Chain A
Amino acid sequence: MKFLTTILLFFLCLPALAYPSSSENAGKKMVVVPGGNYYSFLVTNSNKPIPVAAFLMDETAVTNAEFLEFVKANPSWQRSKVNRLFADANYLKQWAGDLDLGKDRQKLGNTPVVNVSWFAAEAYAKWKGKRLPTVAEWELAGAGTPDKLKKNMSLTDYILDWYNRPNAQQLPATKTTYRNEYGLYDMHGLIWEWTFNFNSFISKGDSRATTEDEKKLFCAAGAMSVKDRKNYAAFLRFSYRGSLKGSYCIANLGFRCAKSIK
């Protein structure tokens, strides 16, 4: 705990330093997410949390306009040229062409880019000198207390409410949901987001089952209890991640970048 406090204190001072906007990408503000301990949603008392160091994170998801700049600079990531191993046929299908957002370009420009694969998101982040957040980082950032939510909902209710509704016909722009205590916008309620290690959840698609070898592997680990049975919101995110493959491009899945603090 003392360790945590130290970290917190340290990073409370940080915004005064040179951060917010990180180097190359003047347009995109990054904010400091304090470090902490990440507990997976299904942990037991005996399971150790994953320590997460403080890091920088884009304040919003990457937008279509921003991603357009990327594909302009990197033609091999244009829709007609991309290798299907790295992005399937749904890649950027909301666009009118390789470098054309279509007639709604004004509106679309400010909405999060979706229909992007993990490989594309990775390449974008690398281009920006950044990286994708890990699951632990993303979950810690996403747990940040909202400034204010509609109808004074709790964050969990807000998340479940969003998960419960089919996709909006038109994806809203960034910064239209809520801001959290770290200054991050739309961590929930707008899109799903890629994480660096989205494939870390060992699921065989069936949330109730696991394979024989995993049983052999883990049967000695003792009794277990679910940390918080009601944390279905996190469960839904894990299920979502578990259904993904790196080349998938999905209408409600985008990303934002992170960066380590050196």
Chain B
Amino acid sequence: MKNILLLASIALLLGSCSDTNKNTDKKPDATSVVQAQTALPEASIFNITDTFTNQHKVPLQLTSLRGKPAVVGMIFSHCGYACPRLTADMKIIHDKLGPKAKEVNFLLVSFDVARDTPARLEAYAKETELTPDWILLHGNEQAVRTLSVLLNVQYEKDADGNFSHSNTISVLDKDGVLAYQKEGLEADHTETIGTIEKMIP
């Protein structure tokens, strides 16, 4: 049993670290599927291979989002103040893009590994009146932390199970490379939208 676990963790690890274009090992492993396309750029956040689950309970890896720019926010659904506003900010960006919003992935990733199940995220999407094209992600603690480190988002869980966190909207290009970040709530979105518009045909 222990050996199986070990093997599994090595496989996982190889998955997470045989990152793409620099990988000279030809061993077939989890990443070869990913690499069927052209290799991701080194700076792509899609290089992380953790599996998330969306609000429809469908597992997905970030790399499956490749091909469209992404607007990413990190939130928790029980948040009383900041997260609904961050979500509203992202909705403004979504609305201002008009029909072009179809060419962009809008992602909300939850800090709250314990409470924000896919079902809860689906409810949150309903509460905040998000259109069906939004992707709300649940992940394990490690996956969410890893994403936060890559996006320079700070968060900490307090004793009540709520989170202190920074508020950042990140824009990734279609290959998952971080292109632009805006800190703070109710900020001016002109530059954010400008950055996105340049990425879509």
On A, residues with C-beta under 8 Å from B are 23-24, 47-51, 73-77, 81-86, 118-119, 122-123, 126-127, 129, 131, 135, 196-197, 199-203, 211-214, 216-217, 245-246
B160: CB under 8 A from chain A?
yes
Measured in the bound complex, the distance between the Cα atoms of B85 and A76 in whole Å is 40
CB distance from A74 to the nearest CB of B (A): 6
Contact B158 A75 (CB under 8 A): no
Interface centre among A74, A83, A118, by most chain B C-beta atoms within 10 angstroms, is A83
The smallest beta-carbon distance between A27 and chain B, in angstroms, is 15
Within 8 Å CB of B16, what residues of A?
123, 126
Q: Are B22 and A76 in touch, CB under 8 angstroms?
A: yes
Residues of chain B within 8 A (CB-CB) of A82 are 19, 22
The answer to whether A202 touches B166, judged by C-beta atoms less than 8 angstroms apart, is yes
User: Among the listed B9, B10, B18, which residue makes an inter-chain contact with A76, where contact means beta carbons less than 8 Å apart?
Assistant: B18
Q: Which of B5, B14, B17, B82 contacts A129 (CB 8 A)?
A: B5
A34 to chain B, nearest CB (A): 19
Known interface pairs A23-B2, A48-B160, A76-B22; A126-B9 also in contact (CB < 8 Å) = yes
- CB-CB under 8 A for A74 and B17, given A85-B42, A201-B154, A202-B156: yes
A83 in contact with B42 (CB, 8 Å): yes
On chain B, the residues within 8 Å of A118 by CB distance are 149
Identity of the chain B residue whose Cβ is nearest the Cβ of A83 in the assembled complex: B19
| A77: chain B residues within 8 A (beta carbon) | 17
Among listed B118-126, B128-136, B140-148, B192-200, interface-contacting one: B140-148
- B residues within 8 Å of A by Cβ? 2, 5-6, 9-10, 12-14, 16-20, 22-25, 42-45, 47, 81-82, 85, 142, 145-146, 148-150, 152-160, 164-167, 183-186
List residues of chain A with CB within 8 A of the CB of B146. 119, 122, 246
17 pairs from A and B in contact (CB 8 Å cutoff): A48-B159, A75-B24, A77-B17, A83-B17, A83-B19, A84-B43, A200-B154, A200-B155, A200-B156, A201-B156, A202-B155, A202-B156, A211-B184, A212-B184, A213-B82, A245-B149, A246-B146
A197 to B147, CA, bound (A): 12
Majority secondary structure, B binding face: mixed
Asked whether, in the complex, the Cβ of B17 is within 8 Å of the Cβ of A85, the reply is: no
Output the least CB separation between B83 and chain A (Å). 10
Specify which of A129, A196, A214 is in contact with B9 (CB 8 Å cutoff): A129
B158 to chain A: which residues have CB within 8 Å? 48, 50
Q: Are A123 and B185 in contact (CB under 8 A)?
A: no
- Beyond the given A76-B25, A200-B164, could you list 9 further A-B residue pairs with CB under 8 A, ordered by the A residue number? A47-B159, A73-B10, A129-B9, A199-B154, A200-B154, A203-B154, A213-B82, A213-B184, A245-B152
Q: With contacts A81-B23, A202-B156 known, is A76 near B17, CB below 8 A?
A: yes
**Docked-complex contact A202 and B164, CB < 8 angstroms:** yes
Q: B82 touches which one: A76, A199, A217 (CB < 8 A)? A: A217
Chain A: CB-nearest residue to B41: A85
Which of A84, A85, A129 has most B Cβ within 10 Å?
A85
Q: Are B145 and A196 touching (Cβ within 8 A)? A: yes
Task: Give Cα A126–Cα B48 distance, bound, in whole angstroms.
Answer: 14
